[in-house]
Structure 1
Amino acid sequence: MSEAQNQAVPADAESPVLFASPAAASGPAHVEVPVAYDGILLAGFGGPEGQDDVIPFLRNVTRGRGIPDERLEEVAHHYRHFDGISPINAQNRALKAALEAELAARGIALPVYWGNRNWAPYLEEAVQDAAASGHANLLALATSAYSSFSSCRQYREDIARVLEATGLGGTVTIDKVRQFFDHPGFVQPFIDGVRDAVGGFLADGLPPEAVRVLFSTHSIPTADAERSGPRDRDFGPGGAYAAQHLAVAEVVMSAVAAEIPAAARVGWELVYQSRSGPPSQPWLEPDVNDVIAELPAAGVAAVAIVPLGFMSDHMEVLWDLDTEATDAAAEAGLRSVRTPTPGVDPVFVSGLVDLVEERLNGTRAGDRPHATDLGPWFDVCRPACCENVRAGFKPAAAGIAP
């Protein structure tokens, strides 16, 4: 690629996509030409690694919302229960190492730079480190699979903010892999977990009707959910965010039933967790604990709790599911199993590198693997995708403005 072709697209350019590679700058839904990336940006959420980090971390998460420390302390007890340590940074270190090993095994010589939105190491450090090492054409891989403001656009806004703040917006390009909610590498670990949980219950003599599968994901404000995904398509209640989860859950249950025919009679539903907004603000429901409390009256004796919305076992899984939801199941007299997240499952890690290769090779959209009819999702987010109702649109990388 020539020097001219490597030039970033600055914020004041006419291109509809900020800070993009030349191949993505015009805003194609799928970039179907090879792009010579020279580094991968692993973009994480971040988490505290000690008691003294907890409140400063939560201030970062809620920046701009004016939430006093006393209210933040109400959430801090989740972290304090685990000595102020979120597992998410350790998991991202493990994921970075696994990605590096898989890339090396495939002969792909791309360094992986890891930076977080809300705690050290920050995205600023990662992007500056990449630029200082001569790597200016980056492909971002965010640690979130679904479409919504908090799980996609906020990462894109932070990437744009970092490029502006560091002064690297004229020299560094950052594209982003597609949302991978229905990539087989992400879906397969959930199939394995549900199969093992349901199979275990049935092997113990429980009838299928006495088993329930609850697919759990992070609740978000209903107004944000309705604006998730592109505006030119009706995804139904809950927008693309809910539709993507429902589609993946259906794939998981169908795959399990194909292996265990009796599992076709096991009921399932999508539930939500970790609500944090004021009672006056509608958020996606039903809550996982409310549903669990109602299961005995429906004749259910055992429940598989599936963290479908999560890549790894971070705090919302450890506290909201392993602690609160598991306690709720025990109080209801139910047997319960919480199934694994993808984490560093080799199938998942291989799938992430497949996503990188799609962009390196310019793979045609029709040749990209996807487990649901919603995919393959977009390489370049569409106009007005995943608006934050409270704050509106801010400049964002890897998507057509606004």
Structure 2
Amino acid sequence: MDTIETVVPFASPATRAGEPYATAPQRYDGLLLAGFGGPEGQDDVIPFLRNVTRGRGIPDERLEEVAHHYRHFGGVSPINAQNRALKAALEAELARRGIDLPVYWGNRNWAPYLDDAVREAADDGRPRLLAFATSAYSSFSSCRQYREDFARVLTETGLAGTVTIDKIRQFFDHPGFVDSFVPGVVEALAELRGAGGAAPRVLFTTHSIPIDDARRSGPSELGLGDGGAYEAQHRAVAEAVMQRVVERDARMADVEWELVYQSRSGPASQPWLEPDICDRIAELPGEDVETVAIVPIGFVSDHMEVMWDLDNEALEAAEEAGMRAIRTPTPGVDPTFVTGIVDLVEERMAAVPREQRVHATEYGPWFDVCRPACCENVRAGFRPAAAGIAP
């Protein structure tokens, strides 16, 4: 009989008591690949954006201002195709290691939905799930919102007493994620350096979020300031990437880097993390910077925020500033990244002790079980969430 006191709702026995890290090996029945989702045709665009902004009362006329990004690409977001490829890559790596763990894929905002993926796992007789969300960092939108969706799905489907969902730790500083950026940065800097002139500047870019959300990202007891864990994690990963770049090519030791933000939305009166990448690019010629490498360190794949906001807007800003710019690749299905995710699956199943877990920054390894009051949405408050201690 299971005698473990339940502190973490919807959790497997290994993490139900709320310890920061799993303390006992755990068998899982399936891997839940949790994605954001995206439209796959022109008719999908506005319904998809309604899903993304549900509960915020945004009229369709305002949604259409964002819709033109998708319409530019025929109404098709690349993210679903990318997740199909990632699912296949994960399945191949799991099979290579002899791990019997089918991958169930579900999205928050478009088909296939998380609800369908969880029902499918239950129908297959695989109720104990380990989730991998395609966001590497701590914040409401990149972690807590997924955990709230897991709780919502289990409750609304009536599977809360049957299916459990744990979540692998935030993988921002796992070497499989960090190292996947390095070859692209090395190649870009070598190409830019080959043109002569001043040293290139590296702009590590990620999605901006409201400062109120940033301040509450990660456990409050860490005391990481207005940028919270979200900003601290990104800065630490950028530094780790650059350290590896210099180890590969010592000529890059004089290259400066900085963290910038992109893709902000919402009212102008609401402060978001800055500086904006396009604003920063416009300033760089005045600092005698002639070339720039844009590194989308906040993103797992080349979805719309990369293809539009970087490949379109940021590169146009560089051209207008008279600068040469190269945008480096995202992890995608890079074998280094895929094997790293499966390493994290095995780490969790084996309950590897914290001191033996690999990590690339001072902020790792992150928690298996999110701590209390982690990543609050100040506009909506705390809602029930899986894979963490309430609230």
- Sort the TM-score into its range (normalised by shorter chain): over 0.9
State how 1:337-356 maps to structure 2 within 5 Å: 337-356=326-345
* TM-score when normalising by structure 2: 0.98
Report the Cα distance in structure 2 between the residues aligned to 1:206 and 1:68, rounded to whole angstroms.
Answer: 49
Task: Report the Cα offset of residue 203 of structure 1.
Answer: 2.5
Query: Are 2:299 and 1:310 equivalent residues in the alignment?
Result: yes
**Contact between 1:32 and 1:365, CA under 8 Å: does it hold in 2?**
no
Work out which of the residue numbers 250, 267, 278 in structure 1 matches 2:267: 278
- Please point out which of 46, 70, 73 is paired with 2:64: 73
Q: Which residue of 2 is the match for residue 91 of structure 1?
A: 82
Deviations 1:152-197 (Å, cap 9, x if unpaired)?
0000000000000000000111000000000000011211111111
Give the equivalent residue in structure 2 for 1:147. 138
- The DSSP-based 3-state class of the residue aligned with 1:135 is coil
Deviations 1:188-223 (A, max 9, x none): 121111111112112332332xx1100000000000
Alignment match, 1:253: 242
Unaligned stretches of 5+ residues in structure 1: none
2:319 is matched with 330
Aligned partner of 2:306: which letter? V
Q: Is 1:379 the equivalent of 2:361? A: no
Which residue identity lines up with residue 185 of structure 1 in the other structure? G
Task: Report matched runs for 1:93-242 at 5 Å.
Answer: 93-208=84-199, 211-242=200-231
Give the fraction of aligned pairs with identical amino acids, expressed as a percent. 71
CA contact (8 A) 1:185 1:350 kept: yes
Unaligned runs of 5+ residues in structure 2 are none
TM-superposed deviation, 1:151: 0.1
What's the C-alpha RMSD, in Å, of the aligned pairs? 1.1
Partner Cα distance (2:157, 2:121) in 1: 12
| Equivalent residue letter for 1:230 | P
- CA distances 1:311-352 after superposition (whole Å, capped 9, x unpaired): 000000000000000000011111010000000000000000
| Mapped partners of 2:23, 2:302: distance in 1 | 34
Q: How far apart, in 2, do the equivalents of 1:245 and 1:266 lie?
A: 18
Indicate which of 251, 260, 268 corresponds to 2:257: 268
Q: Distance in 2 between matches of 1:184 and 1:236?
A: 26
2:220 aligns to what SS in structure 1? coil
Displacement of 1:23 in angstroms is 1.1
| CA drift at 1:237 | 3.1
Q: 1:33 aligns with which of 17, 20, 24?
A: 24
Q: 1:277 Cα shift?
A: 1.2
Question: For residue 55 of structure 1, what is the aligned residue in structure 2?
Answer: 46
Counterpart Cα distance in 2 of 1:33 and 1:335: 52
SS across alignment from 1:232: helix
TM-score normalised over the length of structure 1: 0.96
Which stretch of the first structure deviates more once superposed, 177-186 or 32-41?
A: 32-41
Check the 8 A contact 2:198/2:289 in 1, yes or no. Answer: no
C-alpha distance in 1 between matches for 2:354 and 2:191: 38
Q: What SS does the corresponding residue of 1:187 show, helix, strand or coil?
A: helix
In structure 2, distance between residues paired with 1:284 and 1:373: 22
Which 4+ stretches in 1 moved above 3 angstroms?
none
Secondary structure of the equivalent of 1:216?
strand
Deviation track 1:85-127 (CA, whole Å, cap 9, x = no partner) reads: 0000000000000000000000001100000000000000000
C-alpha distance in 2 between matches for 1:313 and 1:78? 14
The separation in 1 between residues aligned to 2:157 and 2:197, in whole angstroms, is: 59
Once residues 95 and 299 of structure 1 are traced to their aligned partners in structure 2, the CA distance between those partners, rounded to angstroms, is 40
Tell me, in whole angstroms, the C-alpha distance in 2 between the residues paired with 1:103 and 1:246: 31
1:364 partner amino acid: P
Corresponding residue SS for 2:308: helix
CA–CA distance in 2 between the matches of 1:201 and 1:218?
25
Q: Which residue of 2 aligns with 1:24?
A: 15
